Structure 1
Amino acid sequence: MSTTPTPDATPVFTQVQLFTDSDGRARFRDVQIPLTEGTPASRLSQAMAASALQLRQSPVGFQSSFHCTGHPQWLFVLRGRMEIGLQDGSTRVFGPGEHFYSADTLPAGAVFDPALHGHRSRQLGDEPLVTLFVRD
């Protein structure tokens, strides 16, 4: 988790977001969430709704094919390392305590094309991957 003060001194949480761009491809972007609640000693964001939590353990060697996120959700890495790969060949690696918000859903009316849509994921290293999903 990273927090950065804004020019007006309001700290923000930087949400790494995986989203579907206007061309149908998955991309990453950083979204700033202001921490405007709480006290100066403990800054909080506004409350966000969540409908479900789900834990997942992926064994050493796990890798997925390209797919889209079914439901927008936060993904927090609790143990191990996870690589997310995009169609353009770019990748990002997330380790314990890191997160991203997965919202790369299939565009309305589109038929899934594994050469165009979504992302792939894989476990890295010699430790199983343990993740926590928090669904909107």
Structure 2
Amino acid sequence: MTDSATPTFKQVILFTDVDGRAKFREEEIALTEGNPNSRLSAQLAASGVVLRESPAGFRSQMHCTGKPQWVFILSGAMEIGLADGSTRRFNAGEHFYSADTLPEGETFNPEHHGHWSREVAGEPLVTLFVKG
């Protein structure tokens, strides 16, 4: 949350930009519901949750997110790498919104589209996916 008249929740978003490449951006979700002791956002859509455990040393291939989803790191640490060479680390207790879907009509090209993920804490990576 940030200090402002309306409190907010920082949402890190992994998304597909107009050039078809995965990028990160940050947005604020206003916490306008609830009361001063329990500030809430408006209800967000979700269709289900999936828990995943990946072993120490896990690394995926380049891929796109099939359907936008929240990713919460429950234990361990995850690094996300993009085709442009940039990376971002998410530790236990952190999260991001993964929405880097393959642009409609395009064929997946790992040199241009998507991201890879890997475990970077030397211990199993436990994540919670909240499907949009």
Scaled by the length of structure 2, the TM-score of the pair is 0.98
Q: Does 1:17 align with 2:13?
A: yes
Give the 4+ runs in structure 1 shifted more than 3 A: none
Name the count of aligned residue pairs.
132
For structure 2, which runs of at least 5 residues remain unmatched after alignment? none
In structure 2, distance between residues paired with 1:92 and 1:62: 16
- Amino acid in the other structure paired with 1:4: T
For 2:108, the equivalent position in structure 1 comes to: 112
After superposition, residues 33-112 of structure 1 pair within 5 angstroms as 33-112=29-108
Scaled by the length of structure 1, the TM-score of the pair is 0.95
The Cα of 1:40 is off from its aligned counterpart by 1.1
Q: Does 1:5 align with 2:3?
A: yes
Q: 1:32 aligns with which of 22, 28, 32?
A: 28
The Cα of 1:130 is off from its aligned counterpart by 0.1
Measured against aligned partners, the alpha-carbon deviations of 1:104-133 in whole angstroms (never above 9, x if no partner) come to 000010000010000000001221000000
In structure 1, distance between residues paired with 2:13 and 2:94: 12
